[in-house]
Amino acid sequence: MPETPAELGYYYTAEWTPHAATWISWPHNPATWPGKIEPVPGVFAEFVRAVAAHERVNILAGRPNVMQQARELVGDVPNVTLFDIPTNDCWIRDYGPLFLASRDNLPPAMVDFRYNAWGGKYPPFDLDDRAAAKINDTLAMKRFDPGVILEGGSIDVNGRGTLLTTQNCLLNPNRNPHLSRGQVERYLADYLAVRKIIWLRGEMAGDDTDGHIDQLARFVDERTIVAAIEEDPADENFGPLKESWERLEKATDQDDRPFTLLPLPMPRAKFHDGQRLPMSYANFYIANGIVVVPKFDDPNDAVAVETLGRCFPTRRIVPIYAVDLVWGLGAFHCMTQQQCATSANR
């Protein structure tokens, strides 16, 4: 029986730990933004310029037309590297490698979970499923392949042994129908080295991921969680988000200590072609020196920025307009995957 990452001494780090790089995939699939892809590369370019001022940004830009556009928009940005790795879609959070750290100076490593486009909703996804392995052709890390489906946006960790996730996603039969909750928990423990798992139900109007945690609740330090809250009782998100908050109030960390909870208000609902957009300030991305926060031209933009500013006093908060991006059903956390500094080749 092969030794698992946890047995060897690897663990999955919290997002605020130092990064060696941020990985993204350049947007190119018009089916992701029906009739509205034109402004999206510009949003990616704004994001890349903000993050590259603080850390390396590695971009998957396979196929000549994709590579050409990426070069035109960000090819001149220092600290940016383009890779000729093709993808089906841009949401690398869910199919990219999960980079591991160790406390024992072990060789760099990653976990490559399988990917099926959120339960087979958006085929084809073959290129995305192979992206982590293709990345590792360049990095030459130790690569663990659990052989089960898991999206990076469905989990969040505090780096000390506690993981946040949702039942609607990880226990959905469209992911791993052969696995029980106990077996899913075993995989999380073995491959990410977590000891405590907090399960929310996982519901948000407009979300097509079956309840990714990065829309609902996020760790901002080892013992603090920000959670999306809907203040309007008439809104369809009011009840589900209230239930999530109540579960978090009762939750404890790996040492059985309660968390500090901070509310992140929801923006007012926006629709495109009759479809509600899954807008949430919880879909922020923590980079070295900055936190990129989606803004939606909403009064609560300022509240979200102020709240996250208090959570990250040593980082600059960078709000970027995200309504066009969210028409593709994702935001800044969905489009990124961090490579922890301790995973870098020595």
> What positions carry a catalytic annotation?
334
Between CA 270 and CA 276, with CA 273 as vertex, the angle to 5 degrees is 35
User: Phi, psi at residue 117, to the nearest 5°?
Assistant: 55, 55
d(CA 159, CA 10): 11
What DSSP state is assigned to residue 33?
S
d(CA 319, CA 58): 21
Pairing of the two strands 156-157 and 162-166: antiparallel
| CB 71, CB 44: distance < 8 Å | no
Between CA 120 and CA 126, with CA 122 as vertex, the angle to 5 degrees is 75
Between CA 123 and CA 127, with CA 125 as vertex, the angle to 5 degrees is 145
d(CA 126, CA 134): 12
User: Phi, psi at residue 336, to the nearest 5°?
Assistant: -130, 160
Biggest distance spanned by C-alpha atoms of the chain: 55
